């Protein structure tokens, strides 16, 4: 064979290898775990909204959507930043556009499924909105769990800060220790606060940003104590120890109340699921038995009234079993 053929084959092989390496490096820089973690931390820095105007240029704005046009549309929606803040507090890597698209897809899928099934099309008016609310409920559930975990980790974080202050470390150094040594999610939140301080944000603004990202009452007591101590002075290590002890005692009392109210919460869950479960079993065993609820006008009115009363009953039971300590 001609030597040009071998040269061409070698060059082609090198080009393919370099192309594969370039694709791998691009993918690693954009989608690796480290890149996602850094992206999440940088985007979360601007979520608090208490940064001075001269420092905003060093913080990356959190985007509501990957599309610029959709971003402009979402910016015109009322209270869209509150929804974005809920997503941040839940710990999910979603954007507002992804949440809204998920809601639309689930609502459309539920409507199509109801229209395919041998039931009244009026049920689509109920199934669509209910299915569309599922992503929001998922975000709220993740947010509630994450905030509860942050609250459980707060006494240990306050104790660590108190020990660091007694050992002679500065308050910012104690924050760095909590961010580096404690597990997520509280470690990540304190790490973000330490990064904000390093980027030039004042300590008070960084504390306010932390209170915005983590709306936990005990953490707000912690922040208020630090801000008052910076203005009037005092033994911050002792204050941190008292906050840790107070938070532990409150959590113990809450767990005791939770155990005592377990029977009521279980009864509420059973009463909420029982009507829908019984209706599903009846539709499988004897579908004609419930056809009157969507074929007869009186049955439709009866079903609507029953659903409204059940919704009111669920809200009422949740208010009874939700005990604040």
Do 74 and 96 meet the contact criterion of CB atoms below 8 Å apart? yes
* CATH architecture for segment(s) 147-250: Up-down Bundle (1.20)
How many residues are recorded in the chain?
325
Q: What is the mean pLDDT of residues 99-111?
A: 90
**Dist. CA 4–CA 253, nearest whole Å:** 82
Report angle CA 220, 175, 156 to the nearest 5 degrees: 65
Q: What is the mean pLDDT of residues 178-207?
A: 90
Would you place residue 176 in the very low, low, confident or very high pLDDT band (cuts 50, 70, 90)?
A: very high
The token pair at 115 is 């229209």
Q: Does pLDDT of 43 surpass 70?
A: no
Helix then strand count (H, E) for the chain reads: 15, 0
Cα 261–chain centre separation: 27
CB atoms within 10 A of CB 113: 15
The mean-pLDDT minimum among 48-52, 74-78, 172-176, 208-212 falls in 48-52
Domain boundaries, the chain: 3-27+63-146, 147-250, 266-321
**Dist. CA 85–CA 325, nearest whole Å:** 25
Q: What is the pLDDT of residue 3?
A: 64
Within 8 A by CB and 6+ apart from 202, the residues are 52
What φ, ψ does residue 167 adopt, rounded to 5°? -80, -5
Q: How far is CA 289 from CA 4, 122, 278, 285, in A?
A: 82, 18, 12, 9
Q: How do residues 129-170 score in pLDDT, each as one tens digit?
A: 888 999 999 999 999 999 999 999 999 999 999 999 999 999
């Amino acid at each position: 064979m001609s030597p040009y053929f071998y040269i061409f084959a070698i060059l082609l092989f090198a080009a393919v290898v370099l192309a594969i390496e370039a694709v791998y490096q691009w993918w690693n820089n954009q989608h690796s775990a480290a890149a996602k973690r850094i992206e999440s931390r940088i985007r979360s820095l601007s979520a608090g909204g208490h940064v001075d105007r001269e420092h905003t240029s060093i913080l990356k704005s959190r985007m509501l959507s990957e599309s610029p046009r959709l971003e402009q549309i979402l910016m015109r929606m009322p209270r869209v930043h509150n929804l974005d803040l809920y997503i941040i507090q839940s710990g999910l890597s979603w954007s507002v556009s992804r949440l809204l698209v998920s809601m639309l897809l689930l609502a459309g899928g539920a409507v199509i499924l109801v229209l395919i099934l041998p039931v009244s099309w009026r049920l689509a008016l109920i199934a669509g909105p209910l299915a569309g609310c599922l992503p929001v409920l998922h975000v709220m559930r993740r947010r509630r769990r994450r905030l509860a975990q942050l609250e459980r980790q707060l006494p240990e974080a306050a104790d660590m800060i108190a020990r660091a202050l007694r050992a002679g470390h500065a308050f910012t150094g104690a924050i760095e220790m909590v961010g580096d040594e404690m597990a997520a999610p509280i470690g990540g939140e304190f790490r973000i606060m330490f990064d904000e301080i390093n980027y030039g944000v004042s300590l008070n603004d960084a504390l306010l940003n932390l209170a915005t990202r983590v709306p936990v009452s005990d953490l707000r007591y912690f922040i208020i104590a630090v801000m008052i101590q910076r203005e009037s002075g005092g033994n911050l290590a002792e204050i941190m120890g008292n906050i840790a002890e107070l938070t532990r005692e409150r959590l113990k009392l809450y767990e005791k109340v939770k155990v005592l109210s377990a029977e009521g919460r279980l009864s509420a869950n059973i009463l909420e699921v029982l009507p829908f479960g019984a209706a599903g079993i009846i539709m499988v065993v004897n579908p004609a038995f419930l056809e009157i609820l969507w074929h007869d006008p009186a049955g439709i009115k009866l079903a609507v009234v029953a659903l409204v009363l059940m919704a009111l009953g669920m809200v009422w039971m949740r208010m009874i079993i939700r005990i604040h300590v």
